[in-house]
Amino acid sequence: MDLLARTFLPRAASPASKRLLALFCFALITVSHGGALAGGTARTEPRDSTGAGGFLSRAAARFSLFDWMRGGGGAGRADSTSGACADLERECKNLEPFYGCTVDTIIVSGNTHTKAIAILREMATKQGGRLNERLIRRDSAYLRGLAYFAEVAVAAEETGYGKCRILVTLVERPGIFMRVPYPVVNYDFEKGLSYGATWKVKNFRGLAEDLSISALKRRDKEEGANFSWNVPWFMGRRMRFRFDAYTYRRLQAPIDADEDYVREQTAGAVGIGIPLTRNLVKQLWIKTNLSFEGRDSRITLADAGGAPTGVFCRQNFISVGAELEYDSRSNRISPFNGMLHRLRVRRYTSVTGPDQQYVFYGFSDYFYVPTGTERSFIFAVNGDIREGDVPSYFNMKLGGVRDLRGFSDPDLRGSTKLVATVQYRAQLFGPRVFKLPKIGEFDFTMNGVVFLDNGALMNSILDVGKATFYTTGGLGVELISPFRDIIRLEMASDGTGTPAFYLTAGTVF
């Protein structure tokens, strides 16, 4: 109990803690420079079709000073890719006699639905290359993190002098968990309970594509629906394609009659991701997207006399966005090692209705620093800046499930937000595989987390020196299974009131 009491820090941070946070943010920013048949056996692997040249590949290998430092500072020494579980340690031990051998064949088995090409193209270990312990650790952890397999086993056997064959044996998660609709329940201490249903077809067509349809309602306040199709290898090439369509409707007007809000919204968007390097362990991508949106909302505009007046209007918007991403995480669901850096910008322009133009800028930096087997510290910094004719309903709030957890002040609004997080993640249980009669084998893992969040809202990034930073702390568990990839149950507080409870699904904290 004493530990929890010390975790829940005072709500308003002292000037000293603000300066410490600023130094912490600058330190993190400085460190980050910035068709085969299903069920078949693969003896060849797809050609990496990236159009980038060797210069960009070499640049990505040195993209992050932090990666280089963790590798010992030498060009030939690589960092460990994952705090591996006991099974992975045994696999790597058994593979020791083959390290340095040329891989002449990679054979995939156990994949009854997933096409072999979808597995081989995600592996950094390639036919014709030399077997490398760092890469085999990464591949084993990464395949587990795709969320399609209950078990992944990697072995090798000699095929000749200095040559070996890699055997990848998979146990796929039961299809009933991968393609059947399921109910969704989320809880936020401020917004309350929301419920709905999702039909998510994971590994669509056996090509690691995700197809989903969902609908969500929050009591009598709001409701919405979404359709999404995500393709990691578009038209068989190493390009990402995404299509999204969604609709939203607010069922209840705000209590404050003068408050601006969105009454109805419908949009569609397409996005393309292009790799800038061939490196699969340290990936550098540029992503672009284009969306068209129809919006019925109440906004405050100046009347003929210049006085602000609230009016209901219909507007259509075109928005264009771009994002630069660097990703070296060990997996995408619950990584214990690696980094994720994103720089993003999106511009909105109205084409009908009142003339408005505004731009959203943002950055995200996540550092996963392993401290042992399936344990790591996570350091994260997120920033958002909104400029232009931004409607007041887009002014940001502080607090929530992906923000300053445990904090609530509905009157605090701003157009610039900075949030930093320190989190410790440790695996408490699993991964354990269970077998259900007539259904198949499924896996379950539980992680424990303890965290501190610190953040502030302001009207300009130039006000960061005068802004009030708030601190919260908490703990929780992460449940990883085929039911919902990852479910998070968290409790957090700012030390001034009753702790807040959150029940959500998602990989971002």
71-90 pLDDT tens trace: 433 333 333 333 335 666 77
Q: Which domain holds residue 439?
A: 1-509
At 180, list the tokens.
């059947």
Distance (Å) of CA 75 to CA 58, 85, 131, 145: 11, 27, 18, 28
Closest by alpha carbon to 92, among 1, 169, 153? 153
> Which CATH number fits the domain that encloses residue 422?
2.40.160.50
Number of domains in the chain: 1
Kindly state the DSSP code that residue 396 receives in the 8-state scheme: B
Q: What is the pLDDT of residue 357?
A: 96
**Residue with structure tokens 């629906």?**
225
Length of the chain: 509
Pairing of strands 163-172, 149-160: antiparallel
Q: What is the pLDDT of residue 509?
A: 67
Angstrom distance (rounded) from CA 398 to CA 470: 9
> Token pair for residue 406?
């445990």
**pLDDT digits over 172-228, tens only?**
998 888 888 888 888 877 778 899 999 989 899 999 999 999 999 998 899 999 999
Give the model confidence (pLDDT) of 393-422 as tens digits. Answer: 999 999 888 889 999 898 899 999 999 999
Rounded distance between C-alpha atoms, residue 243 and residue 98, angstroms: 43
**Residues facing residue 167 across a β-bridge:** 107, 155
The helix/strand/coil state of 435 is strand
- Indicate the pairing of strand 102-109 with strand 163-172: parallel
Sheet containing 163-172: order of strands: 102-109, 163-172, 149-160
Angstrom CA distances, 4 to 7, 9, 319, 474, 503, stand at 5, 10, 45, 8, 20
> Alpha carbon of 291 to those of 264, 270, 321, 360: distances in Å?
16, 6, 9, 14
For the chain, which ranges sit under pLDDT 70? 1-88, 509
Check if the beta carbon of residue 121 is closer than 8 Å to that of residue 143: no
Cβ neighbours of residue 333 closer than 8 Å, sequence gap 6 or more: 145, 147, 480, 485, 486, 507
Cα gap 474→478, rounded to integer Å: 13
Rounded to 10 deg, the angle between the 86-95 and 133-144 helix axes is 140
Sign of CA dihedral 67, 71, 75, 76: negative
